[in-house]
Structure 1
Amino acid sequence: MTKFGQTSRFALLASAAGFCLTISGAAFAQDTAATTVAVAQDPTAEGGSAASDQSEEKIVVTAQKRAEAVLDVPASVSVISGDRLEKAHAYSLSEYATYVPGLIVGSAGTPGQTSIALRGVSSELGVGGATVGTYIGDLPLGSSSAYARSATFALDLLPYDLDRIEVLRGPQGTLYGASSMGGILSYNLRPADLDQLEFRVGGELDSINGAGDLGWGVRGTANVPIVTDKVAARLSLFKQKTPGYINTVTFDSVDGNGVPAGFHANKDDVNEVEQTGGRLALQVQINPQVNLKLEGLVQKTRADGNASIAVDRDDFDPLVGDRDLIRYMDEPFKRDVLFFGATFNADLDFATFTSATSYSKYDIAQRIDATVPFGLAPNPGVLADLLTDISVKKFTQEARLASPTGGTFEWLVGAFYTNEDAPVSQALSLFTTGSNPTFLFTNLSIDLPTTFEEFALFGDVTVRPFENFEVTGGLRWAHNTQNFSQEFNQFDGVSPDPVFTLSADGTSKESVVTWMANARYHFTPDIMAYARVATGYRPGGPNVVVPLIDGPPTFEADKLINYEAGLKGSFFEHRVDLELSAYHIDWKNIQIPVQIFIFTGADNGGKAAVNGVEFNTLYRPFKGARIGFNGAYTDAQLTEDSNAGPDGARLPLIPKWSWSLNADYSFRIAQDWNGRVGGGLRYVGKRAVSVQDGGKLPSYTLLDLTAGVSHGPWELGLFARNLTDERAYLGTTDYLQLGLNFADVTINQPRTFGISLDTRF
C-alpha cells in the first residue's frame, strides 16, 4: 500500500473534525494580486493631505466619528479615493490592499473569500471571528459571531461608485466595538448630490495571459436632483466578468517522498468569476439643520473555481505547471450581499445628534473538493465534497450626541445595539464517479444556528488645556449574549434516517470594557505629533459540546493593547506629505483551536507581541507629478509556549517587510486634451506558513502600469497589471498530515492588459 493509501482510512475518520470546522476557517495569506499603480499614486491613498499638486485642500475623514482632516487624526489612517480605484481597474479588495501600509488582505482564490489583517493582528493564528471590522460608511456589515466565519468571508465590495475607503490601523474598540482589534476598513460610497444632474457610463476589456476568454465590464451611474437643494437620488449598476486561467489535473500514484505523480489533464479555465450589483441612494435635506440619507445595495459574486495551484511542499516549485491545480470536481462559490442603511443627522446647536440604522443579509455557498483531504485520491472511483452554507442577518442601531468641534472642551456619547441570526450548515458527501452513494459512509452533516446580541455604551472627552495641544480619553462598555445549537448526523446511504446523531445547545454571556487615550500637539497648522494607547477585543462565545467529553463550555474574548506614537505633516509648501508611526502591541488570551472529540472548538491560551513601523510619503516635484513611497516593518511573534505554538514563532502569513514605490504624471496634450501616465512597484517579503513549522512562502515583487487620455467628457484608459507576469504565492493549504508532500497555494492574477472607455453627460 502506498504511503497515501496508508493514511486514507485514518483521514476518513479523523478528518471529520476538519470538515466540522465549526469555528475555524481556511488559512489565507496576503493576496496582493495585480494592482494598478493609480491607487498608490493617489495622495489620499498614502494618507496625504493635498488633493492635487501644491493645493492646500484637505482630505476629510470620519475616523473618530467626527469630520476632520486626515492629518489631524491622532491615529494611523490611510484613505484611498474612489476615482483612483476606478482608474486602477481593481476588481476586489485584494488587488489594491498592499498600497496601504500594514494592511494584509488574503484570498482563497475569489473575491468574497477574503480575510483582512492589520498590523499583524489576524485570525490566521487561531480561530474565532474577524479581527478587523468592515463598514459601509458609519454602518457595520459582517458577523460578530465566531461561528459565521466572518474572518474568512470579509466584506469585499467591487470598488465602483466609491467616494473613498478609510483604513484605520490599530484597535478601535472604544468607538467601533467588537472585532476591531486590528483596526477597521470603511467603504464610503458616493452620496446623492442635491444639485448636480449627472449621467455616467463606461466599459472595459482586458486580456489575462493564458486565459481562454477576454474579460469585460460595464457600469453606469445616474445622479438626479428631485427637488433642488432638498431631495436627490443616485443609482449605480455594474457587471464585471473575469475569465478563468487555472487548469485542473488528477494523479494516479505517489512517489516515495509523498509527492503525487502521473498527472492527467482534467478541465481548463476553471476559475471564471462574475460580479454584478447595484445601489440606490437617497438624500433628503429636511431643513438646514436636519439631513436624512437612505441607501440600498446588492452585490452578487459567482465563481466557478479558485485561483490556486499545486506546489511541492519543500521548495514551493509548481508540482505540474504554474497554473495547474489537483482537483477532481468543480468548486463553485457564491456570495450575495444585501444591505440597507439609514443615517439621520440633526444639528441641535449644543450638539449634533446622529442615528445610524442598518439591516444586512449575506448568503454564502461554498463547495470544496475533499477527495484529496479525505484520502480518497488517487482512487478515481470515489470522490468527496464539502458543502458550506452560511446565511447572516444582522440589524444594528447606533445613536450618539457629539458636541461642536473647536472649543476647549469636546465630548461624544453614544449607545449601540446589534442583533444577529446566523444559521451555518456543512455537509460532507462521499460518492462514486457515477454519483451513486458509497457503502462506506455517505454523508456527514452539521447544523450550527447561532444568535448574537450586544448592547454597548461609549463616549469620549477631549480637553485643550492650551493652544495647539489636546488630550482625549474614551471608554466603552459592551455586553453580549450568544446562543447556538449543534446537530451532527451521520448517514449510511441506505436509510434516510441518520445512523448516528449528536445534539447539544450552548450559550454564553460576556461583558467587556475597552478604553483609549491619546494626546496630540500641533507644531504648526500642518505638522502634528501624537501618542496613543488603545485597547480592542474579539468576542468569545459558546463552545461545541460533546457529552462525556471534557472541553471548555465557553471561550473568552481575546484582547490586546496598542502603544503608538506618530508624526504627520505637510512640508515644503505642501510639496511633501509624511506620515510616520511606530507601535507595540501586546495580544493576550488568544483564541486557539482545541480538539473536542471529532470537532474543532476553541479555547484561550498564549500571548503574542507585534512591533512595527509604518510610513507614507508623497512628493510633488512639479505640477501634475506625484511620487509616493510607503511601507511597513512588522515583527509579529508568539511570546510564550502554548497550544497556539512555540515561543518565538512568527505569526503566520505576515511579512516582516512590505513596501511600494510609485509615480504618476498628469499633463496637458492640447486644447481640451489631457493625458496621464504612471507606474508602480510593490514588494512583499517572506511569510511563515504556520507557527508549527518553518516553511515560508517566498517573497515577490509586482510591477503595474497605467495611462489615459481624456477629451471633454470622454476618457480612454490603458492598464497593465503584473507586467512581468510573476507568480506571487498568497496563501497555502498543505497535506502533510496525510503523508503528502505538496500544498495548494493561491496565486495572483497573471499579466493583464486592458482598455477602458468612460463618458459623462
Structure 2
Amino acid sequence: MKNSWKLSTAILALLAMEAAGSPALAQQAAPPPAPTPAADNGIPEIIVTATRREESANRVPIAIQALSGDSLGKLNVTNFEKLVEYLPNVRTASRGPGISSIYIRGLATDTAGAQILGVAGVQPSVGLYLNDAPASTPGRNLDIHATDLNRIEVLAGPQGTLFGANAMGGVVRYITNKPDLADFHAGASGNAAATKGGAASFGAEGFINVPIVKDKLGVRLTFYSDHQGGYIDNVAGTYRMPWDPGGAGRLPTGNPLLVQQAIQSCVGVLNCVATATGTSGGFKVPLRRSISNNAFIEDNYNDANYNGGRGAITYKVNDDWSLEAMSMYQELKTNGVFDYAPGVGDLKVQQYGPNTLKDTISLSTLTLKGRLGILDMIYTSSYQDHHSVQQADYAKYANIGLFMPYYNCDRGVYYAGYANSASNGQTCYSPANSYKVNDRNRRWTQEFRVNTPADKRVRGTFGLFYDVNRIYDVTQWNYVLPDAGFVYNLAPNPAVNQEIKAGVLPGAGFVNTILRRDRQYAVYGEASFDIVPDKLIVTGGARYYNEKAGMYGGSSTSFVGGIRQNCSAVTTDPATGLTSCVYTPLATPPTVLGASSVLSSRLAGINPTTYTGVLLKANLTYKINPSSLVYATFSEGFRPGGFNRKGCNSASGSGGLTAAACSANRSYAPDHVKNYEIGVKLGLFDRRLQINLAAYVIDWRDIQIAAFDQNISNQTFVSNAANARIHGIEGDITARPISGLTIGSGFSYNDSKLTGCSSGAVAQTLCAQGVIAPVGTALALSPKFQGNIRVRYEWETGSGLKPFIAGGVHYVGSTITSDLVNANILYGCASPYTNCGVNSTINGVTVHPGDSITNLQNLFTQPSYTTFEASVGVSKDNWSLTVYGENLSDARPQLFTSANDGEKRVTTSRPRTIGLRVSYKM
C-alpha cells in the first residue's frame, strides 16, 4: 500500500512538471464556488459537481439536494443524524454515533447486528464521499463532524455510471472548503446546550486560511472538539438465563435450548405440564445464577466526543495546473448505548457490562487538476484508514442464543446425551457475556477523469477508476466461564488465523479473524448532444465494472471437546436439589480454540470471485428557459456480491436445505436496480420561487438481506432473498416572497412493496418458513410520506444589527424496521429422550417436528412522528449569536428499532435541547 501511494505521488509530480511548461489555456485553479447570490432577492444558486462538472444544482437534470456551508451553519447541522431531518427521502438505521447505514428512496431492508458488520454486513446501498474519495463502509459509515464545509450534495436515485458500486440508492457527498490563495481568513465558534433530563453538551470549532505565496500557494486548517452529553440512564437490575413454564395452552418460553429440552421431555407422557422447576416428563429446569449491574449504574451515560481536524494545501503550478492535498483525522469516542429499552422505561436500559466505542478516521487525498489543449483533466488518489474498536455488553444474548447453554452451563444442561444428569452438573453460571469488535477498513482509490468543453454541442465526461478495499475483522465473543470449566487462555486456531495473526482475550468463546478484500476497476463515460442547441439535450452513459471479492481467514470456537476441564465431582444446592460441577484440570491442557470455519477450505473453488457487468444511463432534457427544465432518465445501479462465513450448520444440509443449497449459500451475488424517472425544475418569478419535482419507478432484484436463522446456520449469513418495486415522488420548494423571508420545504412519497422471493433455495426456504415478509409488505424504513417545512426571516436595523427568527417542522410517516418478520427456532431432534422426532404435547399444546418453538421478532412497526425546532439570533459585522431549540415537543420518535439481543431496543432523537452558539469570522 505504501509503495502504491509513493507511485501515485510520483506520477502526479511528473504530470505537474510537464504541465508547468504548458500554455495558459484555462482559468486558474480556484476553490469550489460558493453559493451565487441572486439579484433582486432571488434564491442563491449552489454550484455542484454531481455530473463531475461544475453546474448549478437547479440546472442539473438529477434529483439533487444541496445544502451550502452557510445553510448547514444556520440549521445547526453537525452530524449526519441532524442532516437527515432536512432530507425528505433519506433515512438511517442507527444504533448510535459511528454505527449507522444510510438509505435513499426506500432502498432498505434492515441492517445486521453491530458486532458482525465487518464480515456479514451487506454493502451499502448509498455511496458516501468526502470530496472525490469514496468512503462507504458496511454499517459503519464515516460519521464525519460537519465543519468548514463548502456544501453537502445528496444525489437521489441510482448514480451507477459516474459513481459505480454502492450508488444504487444515491450518493451523499461532503465537499470541504479549499484554500483561498488570495486572502487570509479565520473563524471560530463555540456552542453550549442543555438537554431535558440529560447532561450538558458543548463544543468549539474553527479554521484558518493562509495564502503563503499570494495566488500561488495556500493552506487551510480546520479543527473541532464536540462533546455531546448523554440522556439515557443505565438503571439497576438483575438478570439470568430466561425460563418461563408457559401455562395452559401456551408453550414454555426462554432460552431456546431450555424450551426444546422441556418439550422433548414430554414425548409419550400424558397430561405433561411445565412447571417452574421442571415438567412431569422429567425435564429439570437448571439452576440459573443471576448477575446484577451495580457496577455499571449511571445516569446520562451515553455521551459522545468528536475531536479532529483537517488540513488542505493548494499549489497553483501555473494558470492551467494545480496540485491539491487534503488530510483529515477524527476520533470519535462514545460510552453507553444509544438505544433504550421500552420494557425497562423511558430512556432507560439495564446493561451488565461496559459499552464503549473508539472510532478513528484518517483520510488523505492528492489531486492534480489541469488542462491539456481543450480537455480538462483531474487525477485523484485517496487513502483511508478507518479503525473501530467497540466493546459491548452481550448478557441478554442468552435470551435467544441456541448454543449459549453450552458456554454458560454445565454439561448436564446442554448436552443431549446427559441432559438432567446430576453427575454432569445442572447449573447455568453467570451470563455476564460481552463482545469486542476490532474492525479496520483500509482503502486505496485512484481515479482519472477527462471533461471535454462544456460549451460544445457534443460534450462528455470519461474516466478510469481503481479501488482496493480491505476490511480486517477481529471480533471475539467473551462468554466462556471459569465456573463452567473454561480456564484456559487459548489462541485462535492457526488454520483460520493466517491473514491477521490476531490474539484473543481471556474468556473468548468464539473469534472471527477474517480479511474481506474487494478490488474493482471501472471504465465509464457520459456524453451529451444538443439536439436543439440550449433546448433539447440527449445524454447517454455507461460504466463497465470488474469487481473481485474475496474472504480469507475464518472463525475459531470453544464449541469442541477437550477445551473444558473435567467435571470430577458435584455439589448440591440445598434449596433446589440441583447440582453444580467441581472442575479439575485436564491431563493435557489445550492451547488453541477449535476451527469452526476455515475459509480456505469452506470457500474452496469459489474464492475469490469476479463480478463483471455494464451499467447504463439515458437522459433526455428539455430546457424551458435558462431557469427551468424537464427531464426523463433511465439509470442503473448495483452492489457487489460476497461470501458467508458459514452457509449452513451442516454441509450435508440443514434447515430443510439440501447439500447443494447449502453449498450455494456460501456466497451471494450482486443485487441490481433499474430506475425510470421524470423530473421538472422550475425557477419562477425572477428566481424568487424554485420548484423541483421527480417521479420514479424502481425495480430492485435479488435483494441482499442479512439473516440470522439458527435453523440454517448459527452464524449470520447474507442471501439474495427477495425482489421489490418502488413507486415514488419527491420534491423540494424554496421561496423568497419578500426581502429577508425564506421558506423551504421538502417531501417524498414512496409506495414500496416486496414483489416476491428470489428463485434461490435459501430464499424459497426463508419465504416458506415465514421469515421473509409476505408479498405486498413495504420495504423497511421506507415511510409512505415524509416532509419538512422551515421558515427564516432576517432583517437589518438602523444600527447595523441583523436579527433573525427561524422555525421548522419535520414529519415522518410510519415504517417497519425489517423485511425479515422473524427468525424462528424450530423443534428438532437433539435429545436424550427416545422418540424425540415424534409429536410432543406440553401444557396441552401439540408440537410437531419442524414447528416453531421460539419466535425471534425482527419486524416492528414504528409510528409516525413530528418534531419541531426554532432559533433566534443576531449578527453584526463578523459576529453572530444564535439561541436554538431542537425537538421542542420532547418527542420520542422510533428512528430504529431492533431486537438483535432478544430485547426490544429503540434509537430515538435527543430529548428537548436548548443551546447557544457564538461565531466570529474574519
Question: How high is the TM-score relative to the length of structure 1?
Answer: 0.86
Q: 1:598 to 1:381 in 2, by over 3 A?
A: closer
User: What SS does structure 1 have at the residue aligned with 2:796?
Assistant: strand
Residue of structure 1 in register with 2:282 after alignment: none
CA shift, 1:91, in A, is 3.1
Correspondence 1:703 to 2:868? yes
CA–CA distance in 1 between the matches of 2:39 and 2:153? 19
Picking from 551, 556, 559, the partner of 2:663 is 551
Per-residue Cα deviation, 1:278-322 (whole angstroms, up to 9, x for no partner): 0001111111111221100011100002221112xxxxxxx2321
CA–CA distance in 2 between the matches of 1:224 and 1:297? 18
Per-residue Cα deviation, 1:232-271 (whole angstroms, up to 9, x for no partner): 1000111000111111232458786979999987322220
Letter in 1 for 2:536: F
**Structure 1 contact 487–502 (Cα < 8 Å) conserved:** yes
Letter in 2 for 1:284: Y
Letter in 2 for 1:724: S
User: What SS does structure 1 have at the residue aligned with 2:58?
Assistant: helix
Instruction: Calculate the aligned-residue CA RMSD, in Å.
Output: 2.8
CA shift, 1:115, in A, is 0.9
Residue of structure 2 in register with 1:128 after alignment: 122
User: What SS does structure 2 have at the residue aligned with 1:669?
Assistant: coil
Correspondence 1:245 to 2:231? yes
CA shift, 1:95, in A, is 1.0
User: What SS does structure 2 have at the residue aligned with 1:640?
Assistant: strand
Letter in 1 for 2:623: H
Instruction: Give the alignment of 1:229-308 within 5 angstroms.
Output: 229-249=215-235, 250-251=237-238, 266-308=297-339
CA–CA distance in 2 between the matches of 1:755 and 1:640? 51
CA–CA distance in 2 between the matches of 1:447 and 1:53? 62
Q: 1:624 to 1:101 in 2, by over 3 A?
A: same
Per-residue Cα deviation, 1:675-694 (whole angstroms, up to 9, x for no partner): 11100000111111222446
CA–CA distance in 2 between the matches of 1:711 and 1:434? 68
User: What SS does structure 2 have at the residue aligned with 1:560?
Assistant: strand
CA shift, 1:611, in A, is 0.8
Where structure 1 has 5 or more consecutive residues not aligned to the other structure, the ranges are 1-47, 143-149, 312-318
CA shift, 1:122, in A, is 2.4
Instruction: Give the alignment of 1:627-646 within 5 angstroms.
Output: 627-641=743-757, 643=763, 644-646=772-774
CA–CA distance in 2 between the matches of 1:272 and 1:87? 24
Q: Which moved more, 1:489-498 or 1:278-287?
A: 489-498
Where structure 2 has 5 or more consecutive residues not aligned to the other structure, the ranges are 1-34, 113-120, 256-289, 409-427, 489-505, 566-589, 601-606, 653-661, 764-771, 822-858
CA–CA distance in 1 between the matches of 2:817 and 2:487? 35
**Structure 2 contact 43–688 (Cα < 8 Å) conserved:** no
Picking from 524, 533, 543, the partner of 1:458 is 524
**Structure 2 contact 549–641 (Cα < 8 Å) conserved:** no
**Structure 1 contact 360–395 (Cα < 8 Å) conserved:** yes
Residue of structure 1 in register with 2:359 after alignment: 335
Per-residue Cα deviation, 1:480-512 (whole angstroms, up to 9, x for no partner): 212221322123476442145431223111112
CA–CA distance in 1 between the matches of 2:463 and 2:239? 62
Per-residue Cα deviation, 1:35-90 (whole angstroms, up to 9, x for no partner): xxxxxxxxxxxxx9966872375221100101111111111000011222223333
CA–CA distance in 2 between the matches of 1:545 and 1:722? 44
CA shift, 1:590, in A, is 1.4
Residue of structure 2 in register with 1:31 after alignment: none
Picking from 538, 541, 549, the partner of 1:471 is 538
**Structure 1 contact 171–536 (Cα < 8 Å) conserved:** yes
**Structure 2 contact 721–757 (Cα < 8 Å) conserved:** no
**Structure 1 contact 298–336 (Cα < 8 Å) conserved:** yes
Q: 1:712 to 1:180 in 2, by over 3 A?
A: same
Q: 1:56 to 1:605 in 2, by over 3 A?
A: closer
**Structure 1 contact 49–71 (Cα < 8 Å) conserved:** no
Q: 1:431 to 1:83 in 2, by over 3 A?
A: farther
User: What SS does structure 1 have at the residue aligned with 2:98?
Assistant: coil
CA shift, 1:597, in A, is 3.7
CA shift, 1:388, in A, is 1.4
CA–CA distance in 2 between the matches of 1:338 and 1:352? 29
**Structure 2 contact 291–431 (Cα < 8 Å) conserved:** no
Per-residue Cα deviation, 1:502-539 (whole angstroms, up to 9, x for no partner): 31223111112101000110111111000000000000
**Structure 1 contact 451–482 (Cα < 8 Å) conserved:** yes
More helix by share: 2
User: What SS does structure 2 have at the residue aligned with 1:413?
Assistant: strand
Per-residue Cα deviation, 1:442-500 (whole angstroms, up to 9, x for no partner): 51111111221111101111000113110000010010212221322123476442145
Per-residue Cα deviation, 1:365-397 (whole angstroms, up to 9, x for no partner): 122321112238998933111211110111111
CA shift, 1:760, in A, is 2.1
Q: 1:329 to 1:435 in 2, by over 3 A?
A: farther
Picking from 208, 212, 223, the partner of 1:226 is 212
Instruction: Give the alignment of 1:163-182 within 5 angstroms.
Output: 163-182=150-169
Letter in 1 for 2:438: D
**Structure 1 contact 88–719 (Cα < 8 Å) conserved:** no
Q: 1:681 to 1:477 in 2, by over 3 A?
A: same
More strand by share: 1
Letter in 2 for 1:509: T
CA–CA distance in 2 between the matches of 1:163 and 1:442? 46
Instruction: Give the alignment of 1:389-428 within 5 angstroms.
Output: 389-428=438-477
User: What SS does structure 2 have at the residue aligned with 1:124?
Assistant: coil
CA–CA distance in 1 between the matches of 2:254 and 2:725? 37
**Structure 1 contact 518–530 (Cα < 8 Å) conserved:** yes
CA–CA distance in 2 between the matches of 1:132 and 1:178? 9
Picking from 360, 372, 375, the partner of 1:348 is 372
CA shift, 1:230, in A, is 1.0
Residue of structure 2 in register with 1:26 after alignment: none
Residue of structure 2 in register with 1:30 after alignment: none
CA–CA distance in 2 between the matches of 1:52 and 1:434? 77
**Structure 1 contact 390–422 (Cα < 8 Å) conserved:** yes
User: What SS does structure 1 have at the residue aligned with 2:124?
Assistant: coil
Residue of structure 1 in register with 2:50 after alignment: 63
Residue of structure 2 in register with 1:36 after alignment: none
CA–CA distance in 2 between the matches of 1:463 and 1:497? 65
CA–CA distance in 2 between the matches of 1:713 and 1:618? 27
**Structure 1 contact 198–222 (Cα < 8 Å) conserved:** yes
Residue of structure 2 in register with 1:673 after alignment: 801
**Structure 1 contact 49–69 (Cα < 8 Å) conserved:** no
Residue of structure 1 in register with 2:898 after alignment: 733
Instruction: Give the alignment of 1:503-542 within 5 angstroms.
Output: 503-505=598-600, 506-542=607-643
User: What SS does structure 2 have at the residue aligned with 1:270?
Assistant: coil
CA–CA distance in 2 between the matches of 1:330 and 1:361? 26
Per-residue Cα deviation, 1:663-684 (whole angstroms, up to 9, x for no partner): 0011113323111110000011
CA–CA distance in 1 between the matches of 2:383 and 2:106? 31
Correspondence 1:664 to 2:695? no
**Structure 2 contact 695–730 (Cα < 8 Å) conserved:** yes
CA shift, 1:178, in A, is 0.5
**Structure 2 contact 43–735 (Cα < 8 Å) conserved:** no
Q: 1:262 to 1:664 in 2, by over 3 A?
A: farther
RCO comparison, higher one (Cα < 8 Å, 6+): 1
Q: Rg larger in 1 or in 2?
A: 2
User: What SS does structure 1 have at the residue aligned with 2:738?
Assistant: coil
CA–CA distance in 1 between the matches of 2:39 and 2:82? 24
CA–CA distance in 1 between the matches of 2:146 and 2:182? 24
Residue of structure 1 in register with 2:86 after alignment: 99
Residue of structure 1 in register with 2:832 after alignment: none
CA–CA distance in 1 between the matches of 2:123 and 2:63? 23
CA–CA distance in 2 between the matches of 1:229 and 1:293? 14
Residue of structure 1 in register with 2:99 after alignment: 113
CA shift, 1:647, in A, is 1.1
Letter in 1 for 2:304: V
CA–CA distance in 2 between the matches of 1:614 and 1:387? 41
User: What SS does structure 1 have at the residue aligned with 2:78?
Assistant: coil
CA shift, 1:619, in A, is 1.4
Question: How high is the TM-score relative to the length of structure 2?
Answer: 0.72
CA–CA distance in 1 between the matches of 2:322 and 2:508? 58
Per-residue Cα deviation, 1:533-560 (whole angstroms, up to 9, x for no partner): 0000000123335783533243211001
Instruction: Give the alignment of 1:553-592 within 5 angstroms.
Output: 553-592=666-705
